[in-house]
């Protein structure tokens, strides 16, 4: 019995699922870290993902192309980013309230429109084209590793590239510097002759785009394309936690998302042994533990620094 649980947990399937589950969270986190760097508290990512998922599914269905679906989700993400920036940057409304409003609005409007378009059962029963699966030659034939790394939707691999690109963008491009300066010390940037508000607009739009991608992955990145009400399942909040956990560093945020993905996959595996209602809570519990760890470790680090300073001075 024990042997079977362990072999289930640490099977190739679990790790394969880990990458798949981590991807939408990682994509949203890439967006969230942009707004985080620009000094905007963005808790509206969940709503952005949900709308991205819906727009992706609808466009994919009507245009009969998953790629056009993704494109629509991205374009819609630009709009959402503009909308978010309009309120938080231009009109200087409270970021928290706008984020909340965005989430609530997304829940309502996607549910309403999905019922209007597809009927009560949502998209099930409709053929929504989904993205193809990539089978990497050579690697796919390596035992175990091949099962983990090969056979994902194109999103999983695109995310790897995007993580690296964003890492370069944030830390190694002038615009990345400006966005970080806009968040940390906007007046400094202004006196340097750059407009901090413009940086916040850029960050907000990028956030919309990444959340749109995350949504499109949810509705189009699996074997059968579909939209389910509330399918973002709080991944926007998890992504926000990953951003904080990683101090808005892209590769670290991806690792945090992988951790989420692992426990999500684990929950799915354990459903055979424990009630699925219970296993479903695992990733969220882990998120709480992660956040507590961030706070406690920061406290520990401060105490250690304090002790070192004291020693140095004695």
Would you tell me which residues interact with other proteins (CB under 8 A)? 168, 172-174, 176-178, 180-181, 184-185, 187-194, 302-303, 305-306, 309-310, 313
In degrees rounded to 5, what are phi and psi of residue 8?
-70, -45
Cβ 295 to other proteins, closest distance in Å? 14
Cβ 47 to other proteins, closest distance in Å? 30
Q: Which of 55, 60, 108 is nearest to 79 (CA)?
A: 55
Half-sphere exposure of 222 (CA within 13 A, CB side): 17
Residue 140 or 190 with smaller CB distance to other proteins: 190
Residue 140 or 194 with smaller CB distance to other proteins: 194
Please say whether the beta carbons of 25 and 235 come within 8 A: yes
Cβ 37 to other proteins, closest distance in Å? 10
> Rounded to the nearest 10 degrees, how much is the dihedral formed by the CA atoms of 109, 110, 112, 115?
170
Residue 115 or 302 with smaller CB distance to other proteins: 302
Cβ 97 to other proteins, closest distance in Å? 24
Cβ 297 to other proteins, closest distance in Å? 14
Residue 115 or 304 with smaller CB distance to other proteins: 304
| E strand or H helix that includes residue 133 | strand 133-134
Assigned token pair, 133: 């699966």
| E strand or H helix that includes residue 74 | helix 66-85
Residue 164 or 192 with smaller CB distance to other proteins: 192
Q: Which of 36, 47, 104 is nearest to 241 (CA)?
A: 36
Q: What is the distance between the alpha carbons of residues 222 and 133, in angstroms, rounded to a whole number?
A: 9
Residue 25 or 203 with smaller CB distance to other proteins: 203
Classify 279 as helix, strand or coil. helix
Cβ 288 to other proteins, closest distance in Å? 24
């Amino acid at each position: 019995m024990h042997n079977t649980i362990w072999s289930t947990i640490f099977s190739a399937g679990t790790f394969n699922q880990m990458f798949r589950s981590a991807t939408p969270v990682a994509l949203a986190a890439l967006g969230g870290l942009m707004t985080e760097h620009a000094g905007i508290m963005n808790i509206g990512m969940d709503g952005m993902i949900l709308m991205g998922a819906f727009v992706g599914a609808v466009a994919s269905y009507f245009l009969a192309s998953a790629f056009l679906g993704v494109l629509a989700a991205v374009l819609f993400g630009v709009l959402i980013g503009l909308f978010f920036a309009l309120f938080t940057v231009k009109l200087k409304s409270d970021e928290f309230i706008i984020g909340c409003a965005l989430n609530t609005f997304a829940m309502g409007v996607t549910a309403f429109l999905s019922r209007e378009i597809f009927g009560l059962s949502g998209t099930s029963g409709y053929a929504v084209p989904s993205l193809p699966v990539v089978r990497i030659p050579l690697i796919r034939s390596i035992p175990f590793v091949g099962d983990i790394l090969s056979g994902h939707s194109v999103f999983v691999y695109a995310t790897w590239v995007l993580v690296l690109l964003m890492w370069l963008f944030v830390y190694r491009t002038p615009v990345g510097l400006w966005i970080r300066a806009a968040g940390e010390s906007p007046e400094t940037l202004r006196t340097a002759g750059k407009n901090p508000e413009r940086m916040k607009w850029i960050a907000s739009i990028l956030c919309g785009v990444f959340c749109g991608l995350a949504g499109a992955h949810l509705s189009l990145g699996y074997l059968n394309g579909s939209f389910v009400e509330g399918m973002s399942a709080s991944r926007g909040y998890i992504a926000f936690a990953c951003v904080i956990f990683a101090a808005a560093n892209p590769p670290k945020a991806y690792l945090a998302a992988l951790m989420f993905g692992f426990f999500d996959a684990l929950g799915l595996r354990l459903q055979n042994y424990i009630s699925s209602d219970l296993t479903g809570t695992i990733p969220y519990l882990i998120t709480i533990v992660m956040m507590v760890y961030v706070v406690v470790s920061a406290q520990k680090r401060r105490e250690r620094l304090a002790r070192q300073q004291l020693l140095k001075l004695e």
